[in-house]
Amino acid sequence: MTRENQGARRFDILIIGAGFSGLYQLYRLRRLGFRVKLFDAGRDLGGVWHWNRYPGARVDSHVPNYEFSIDEVWQDWCWSERFPGWQELQRYFAHVDSKLKLKSDIEFNKRVTAAAFDEEECRWHLTCADGEIVETQFVLTCMGFAAKAHIPALPGLDRFEGHAIHTAHWPEAGIDLSGKRVGVIGTGASGVQVIQEAYKVAKELTVFQRTPMIALAMQQRQLSRESELAKKSSLKETFHIRNASSGGFHDLQMDERRAHEVSKVERDRVFEEAWAKGGFHFWTGSFSDIITDSRSNRLAYDFWRAKVHARVNDPATAEMLAPTEPPHPFGAKRPSLEQDYYEAFNHGNVTLVDLKKTPITAIEPQGVYTSEKAFDLDVLVLATGFDAGTGGFTQIDLRGTSGRTLKEIWQDGVDTHLGLGIPEFPNLLMLYGPQSPTAFWNGPASAEVQGDWVVNCLRHLRDNTFRRIEAKRDAAKAWTKHMEEMGARTLMPLADSWYMGANIPGKRRQMLFYMGSKSYMEHCNNSADNGYTGFELR
C-alpha cells in the first residue's frame, strides 16, 4: 500500500450506482454479511430517475413490471399511473428506502473518477472526485446503460446566449418553457417526451429531426388505489412470470405465426389488439418474426405508418414523420412511447425541420442556423441520447492488470464474458451493462435476475475462499462472436442505432446488447453450474 493510501477505508464490495441494480445488490449483499458500500454521483436514490426530470419524463415499461418484487416494498405501495412519471418514481425510491433502510450504506455526491487493480493485494483502489481513495476487493458497476450523455459537436454551441441543456442534465429547479422560443434537437425517447409538453406552453417550438422516430401509442391510463389493492393477491405470481420471461414483462405474449403468412384480416386483428394494449406490445407482443423477417417487418411498419398519417393534418408533415419508405427496419431502433406526440405537429406554433435535407450549419448566439434558414431561440434542448452501454465505463480512468485503460481496450470493440466480466479486470462484475440483455430487459427484472446470479457468485467465492474472479480472454472473444451471430439472424444490424454503438462518432459498430434474457440466463446459469466456466477463479 502506498503512503497516500494508508488509512484508506476498506470494503469487501463497492457498488457504483443507486438505481434498481445497485440498490438490489446492496439489499441482498448486506443481508449476507458482506461489508458493502454504495457510491452514487447524484444526491439521492433512483439512478436515471434521479437525473431524469425534464418535462414529460416517464418510464416506458408499465407497472407492475417496473418495480421490485420484494414483499415489504410492494405490499403497501400503489401506483397512480400505468406508466409513472419521474416525480412518482422518485417517490417510489423514497418508499423503497423507508422499507429497506438502504441509505445508511450509501454515500451520495460521490463520483468515482478512477480505479486501478493492485495485483499484489488483489484489491481495487478507487479515486473519487472529492479526492478520497478507497479500497475494495470487488467492484460492482451498476451505472446503467445511459450514464453518459452524448452532446454532439455542434459548431458554436458554446456561444449560444440562451439556455442550452441536455435532457439528462436538466436542473432540479426546472426550466420554464412558457412563452419561450424552444428548439429541440433529436426525436428519440426524451425528445418525444419534451416535445409533447413543450408545444402546449411554448410561444414557438422548432423540432430538428434527423431520423423519424417510430413512436408507439403508450395507451396511458390512471390507476385507482382500489384497483391497485385488488392486484395485490396475484402480484407474487405476476413477478414470478415477469422474472422468468424473456424480456422482463409478465404480459407480453408473442404470436408464433409469421405475420406475412396469415391473412390480412387476421394480421390486422393481431396488430390492432397489440396496438390497443399500448406500450411495447406492438413491438414485442405481436408476431414473433417482426424483427427477423423483412416482409413481416414491412407489414408492421406500414400498419404503424397508417396510424400516424391518420393523426397528422398536413400530408407533407405526416410524410416527414412517417415516410413511405422506412428509415430503418421497424424495431431495429428502440421505439419511443407517445401520448399526443403526433398531434403536436397539428399546432401552428410547431415547426418540423428535416436535418437530412437542411443540416445544421452553426449554433449562433441567438439560435440555430441550418443550410436554409435561421431559427431564433430562447431555449435549446439537446435530446441527443447517450453513449449507451459503454460510456459510463469509459468516462472513468479504469485500469486493470495490464495498466491499460478500459477506454483504450474497448476502442477496438467490446469483449466481455456474459456481459458480466472483462478480461484484465479481475473482481469487477457488471450489472445491466454491455453484452447482456440490458436494452431488451425490463430494468427491475434484470436487477433481480442478473443480480441474484452476481450475489450467488460472490457468495460462492467467499464460501470457497476464492479471492479473485476474472473473465478469460478466449471466453470473452467467444461471447462477442456469439452476439454477432445472434444479431446477424435479425434485422438489428441494418439500423444505425445505439444498440449497435452507431450513434457515437468513432465508436466501433457492433451488437452491444443481448437479445432475450431467458436464453441469456441459461448461458449464465450453465457457467455457474459448471464451476463458473469462462472465468478464472483463484
pLDDT in tens, 453-507: 999 999 999 999 999 999 999 999 999 999 999 999 999 999 999 999 999 999 9
Rounded mean pLDDT, 62-81 = 98
Res 5: pLDDT: 67
Q: 197: pLDDT confidence band, cut at 50, 70 and 90?
A: very high
pLDDT in tens, 147-180: 999 999 999 999 999 999 999 999 999 999 999 9
Residue with cell 467467444: 478
d(Cα 408, Cα 414) in Å, to the nearest integer?
Answer: 11
H helices of 286-327, in order, are 294-309, 315-321
d(Cα 482, Cα 492) in Å, to the nearest integer?
Answer: 15
Rounded mean pLDDT, 249-262 = 94
What domains can you pick out in the chain, each with its CATH number?
Answer: 3-148+388-537 (3.50.50.60), 157-226+246-382 (no CATH)
Which phi and psi (to 5°) does residue 294 adopt? -65, -30
Residue 224 burial by Cβ neighbours in a 10 Å radius (0-12, 13-18, 19+):
exposed
Is the per-residue pLDDT at 2 higher than 60?
no
- Beta partners for residue 382, in sequence order: 166, 185
Is the per-residue pLDDT at 1 higher than 50?
no
Residue 342 cell numbers, joined: 403526433
Is the per-residue pLDDT at 261 higher than 80?
yes
Rounded mean pLDDT, 260-275 = 98
Q: 6: pLDDT confidence band, cut at 50, 70 and 90?
A: confident
Res 3: pLDDT: 40
Cβ-based neighbours of 221, under 8 Å, separated by 6 or more: 81, 82
Rounded mean pLDDT, 294-313 = 98
Mean of pLDDT over the chain: 97
Three-state DSSP at 503 gives coil
Q: Give how far Cα 258 sits from Cα of 25, 262, 295, 359, Å.
A: 40, 7, 9, 39
d(Cα 322, Cα 305) in Å, to the nearest integer?
Answer: 6
pLDDT in tens, 308-343: 999 999 999 999 999 999 999 999 999 999 999 999
Residue 498 burial by Cβ neighbours in a 10 Å radius (0-12, 13-18, 19+):
buried
Is the per-residue pLDDT at 124 higher than 50?
yes
Which phi and psi (to 5°) does residue 317 adopt? -65, -40
Is the per-residue pLDDT at 270 higher than 50?
yes
AA letter at 155: P
Rounded mean pLDDT, 56-80 = 97
Q: 4: pLDDT confidence band, cut at 50, 70 and 90?
A: low
CB 536 within 8 A of CB 472: yes
CB 433 within 8 A of CB 146: no
DSSP assigned state of 149: B
- Extract the runs of DSSP E, i.e. beta strands, from 403-531: 428-430, 469-471
